[in-house]
Structure 1
Amino acid sequence: RSEQYSLLVDLSRDLGVQRTLQVDDSTLLGFYEACASGYPDNPYHNFVHALDVTVILHRLLRELGAGVYLTPLDVAVTVLAAVCHDVGHPGVNNLYHVHARTELAVRYKNESILENHSYQDSIKDEEEEKAQKRERDELIDSFKKAFFEIILATDMRHHFSLLDEVHGMVESFTLGPMGAAFRRRLCAILLHAADVSNPVRSWSECKEWSDAITTEFRWQGERERQEGLPVSPGMDGDSTTPGAQARSAIEFNEVVIRPYFTALAEFLPKAHIFLDDLNSNLRHWRAIAAS
């Protein structure tokens, strides 16, 4: 993983994370290594996914210009949230935990279960730092509040409310300078965009990640059957065949992805490039569905 760690540290340095948090490369590397150790070896929700999301976030902030609307601290917290947003993910979704009445579901009262779990796992080391550096309590508390809010926004149940926020962002921005709450919502919008960006990438990347999540869905469906639980939508064997995968991708892309990235491109015009890849990928999916 040395190359992956090096890439994360380099991307972070380019975005000023080390400078903003007043840490050196080795300290940040240690944090990233700790995060990586918390990712199970899932087909999809693994450390490579976290790295991939961080790479796309970097692109949104740098190439597409979103970073100009954020403070250095906003950028730093969003980068760390990208790396940590699926820490401890068990390879099954929130609905599984609700049906199985797992310890995590009870602990978080069925609310954004995995996102809460990832947040709590990510701040363990930070709690130790807080105990050692009381003079930084106010900054740490502010950082943790934003960190928590941004990670929880990656729960797909918030997708359409985030979409509504994107639609209103251009108008809101013209009213004056962005306040802290507004900037945090932008951070959440950007991280969510990076998290669901697989369909707006090159076909090879899109297909590879789609295959990975389809495998994870199939594993969850098999586990639910074995445990006598309701099989979650889209996770039974019939729903994970190539044709079903293609039809599911088409529906997801048209209903979920296209509206979100179309709205994002209204705020970040350079984001229109994502829609070009989306249209190209849809042609591939339609060909598979028709075969």
Structure 2
Amino acid sequence: MYNREGTVVKISPRLEANSKESYYRLEVVASDLQTVAKSSELDNMEHRLHHLESKVNQDVGKTPDIMSELKSHVESFKRKLESVEHLSWIGLFKDDGEQHLAKFTPKPKTPQLSVQEERQQVRRKFLNISSLQVTEDVRELLKTPTFDNWQWEEAEMLVLLQVMYTSLDFLSALNIELEVLQNFLFEVYCHYNNIPFHNFQHCFCVTQMMYGLIWLTDLRNKLGRTDLFIMLTSALCHDLDHPGYNNVYQINAQTDLALRYNDISPLENHHCAIAFGILAKPECNILKNLSSEQYKHIRGGMIKYFSVFSICCVSVLHLLSHELLSLLSLGRCILATDMARHNEILNKFKSIQSVFDFTNKDHKEVLMKIMVKVSDISNEARPMAVAEPWLDCLLQEFFHQSDTEKQKGLPVSPFMDRDKVSKPSSQTNFIRFVLLPLFSELTKLFPCLEQHILEPVRRALEYYSDMEKASKDEEATTKP
């Protein structure tokens, strides 16, 4: 964007409005429209919707709620494509005395490229833009749960992760070389698979939420840099090489992972092993300049908090599928153990609320576990436009697993069966029995979080409850 004098200006909400005397000129420097639906395809979809709506109106005399909702989604998506399809580059500027927009080369869509070649393209772009200055507006937004992950490319997300590590002073406090950090972040990116939910973008969201909570609760002045590093790095690595099939599937299918870890949290053990495998590479070892005691503390902390991610997943299993747990009722069953630890951690956190002491090692440890749990399952604390697509991605992954279970004759996970699970019903119980109790307890210690994470979750419960009621009302009216 240029002002009337032809000088490049930063796009910001604080810019003065256009006028005849003072106006701006826009120049498009980057686009990636090949990655989205073509306008003609959207027009065709709209035409088909209008035709279907007319036929329904003729048959029943009114437009069903589901049809209105579908039209709204299509119109919203089209507006987004036409206005802000790819504007994330706005947030990055070179720091060379005179700010100007970095002109990024769009990632070419070349299907013949191998996965390795595509990753190298991301690496080159990441390194090319890593020295650019991220604007203060973006830095501040990065500290909040309202951050929209859908507007950022993979290379840009790597830059923002670099910002998180540098702004929390990890490089100076832990003597981390910038080049080594960049190698580490890129290797982490390479070890996330291209699956609907547990992918690199999910990893970024969990890490960004942890980063935001650290700032919102002022943990920078309440915990040491090493503890903050453990929390952020655990979030970053928590789903490394996730195959898209959960622990229950691994155990029932007797996969290599389940056999390797004796059915004990196979995925979480695998994620942790991959993380330390990356750190074992000299060019990626961000811990190489630490003392042996510091390394042992960080390794022990990360292993401990990886087990907490397992608890997050199991808590959902417990609430949505009692039948599944009954299939796994052996005394040493990991699911039962994990669920008991989930209750133990939450109850312990409740018990220390009134006397919480940041100088107490046990108190801090419980808080860090709670922060890890909250970050991992925090999508519903985000704006609905950001959160709802994540639910669609999760259900897609769930349904794929249950389809595979049916094909292989394995026990079918009830909460993943596309024939039994609806979008609203999958969320109402999850929000009511998992998110609200957990988020409420954290908010008691940090009242400032009520507006940032608790209120959005309450609104999400109302949203999905209304959707569930509307769906049941529609079923009732259509029954003969």
TM-score between the two structures when normalised by the length of structure 1: 0.91
Task: Describe the SS at the equivalent of 2:198.
Answer: coil
Of Structure 1 and Structure 2, the greater helix share is in 1
Task: Describe the SS at the equivalent of 1:234.
Answer: helix
Residue type of the alignment partner of 1:284: Y
Quote the residue 1:188 is aligned against. Answer: 369
Q: Residue 170 in 1 paired to residue 353 in 2?
A: yes
Give the whole-Å Cα distance in 2 for the aligned partners of 1:232 and 1:277. Answer: 29
Residue type of the alignment partner of 1:246: P
Give the whole-Å Cα distance in 1 for the aligned partners of 2:237 and 2:182. Answer: 13
Q: 1:137 aligns with which of 266, 269, 292?
A: 292
Q: Residue 260 in 1 paired to residue 438 in 2?
A: yes
Give the whole-Å Cα distance in 2 for the aligned partners of 1:17 and 1:165. Answer: 30
Shift of 1:267: 1.1
Contact 2:436 2:458 (8 Å CA) reproduced: no
> 1:172 and 1:96, CA in 2 relative to 1: closer, same or farther beyond 3 A?
farther
Q: 1:160 aligns with which of 317, 325, 343?
A: 343
Give the whole-Å Cα distance in 2 for the aligned partners of 1:134 and 1:3. Answer: 27
Quote the residue 1:235 is aligned against. Answer: 416
Residue type of the alignment partner of 1:3: E
Render the CA deviation track for 1:226-280: whole Å, top value 9, x for unaligned: 111111121112234xxx2201200110011100000011111112121211121
Contact 2:188 2:240 (8 Å CA) reproduced: yes
Give the whole-Å Cα distance in 2 for the aligned partners of 1:170 and 1:197. Answer: 21
Task: Describe the SS at the equivalent of 1:190.
Answer: helix
Residue identity over aligned pairs, in percent, reads: 26
Give the whole-Å Cα distance in 2 for the aligned partners of 1:248 and 1:163. Answer: 22
Q: How does 1:1-291 map to 2 (within 5 A)?
A: 1-129=154-282, 136-155=291-310, 156=312, 157=314, 158=338, 159-174=342-357, 177-179=359-361, 181-240=362-421, 244-273=422-451, 274-291=453-470
Q: CA RMSD in A?
A: 2.0
Residue ranges of structure 1 left out of the alignment (5+ in a row) = none
> 1:161 and 1:198, CA in 2 relative to 1: closer, same or farther beyond 3 A?
farther
Residue ranges of structure 2 left out of the alignment (5+ in a row) = 1-153, 315-337, 471-480
Render the CA deviation track for 1:34-91: whole Å, top value 9, x for unaligned: 1111111111100100100111111110023234331110001111111100001110
Give the whole-Å Cα distance in 2 for the aligned partners of 1:135 and 1:20. Answer: 10
Contact 1:151 1:188 (8 Å CA) reproduced: no
Shift of 1:173: 2.2
Task: Describe the SS at the equivalent of 2:207.
Answer: helix
Task: Describe the SS at the equivalent of 1:154.
Answer: helix
Shift of 1:166: 2.4
Task: Describe the SS at the equivalent of 1:62.
Answer: helix
Q: After the TM superposition, which of the residue ranges 149-158 and 246-255 deviates more from structure 2?
A: 149-158
Give the whole-Å Cα distance in 2 for the aligned partners of 1:73 and 1:54. Answer: 16
Give the whole-Å Cα distance in 1 for the aligned partners of 2:355 and 2:262. Answer: 34
- Quick one: higher RCO (CA 8 Å, sep 6+), 1 or 2? 1
Residue type of the alignment partner of 2:190: S
Contact 1:84 1:122 (8 Å CA) reproduced: yes
Task: Describe the SS at the equivalent of 2:216.
Answer: coil
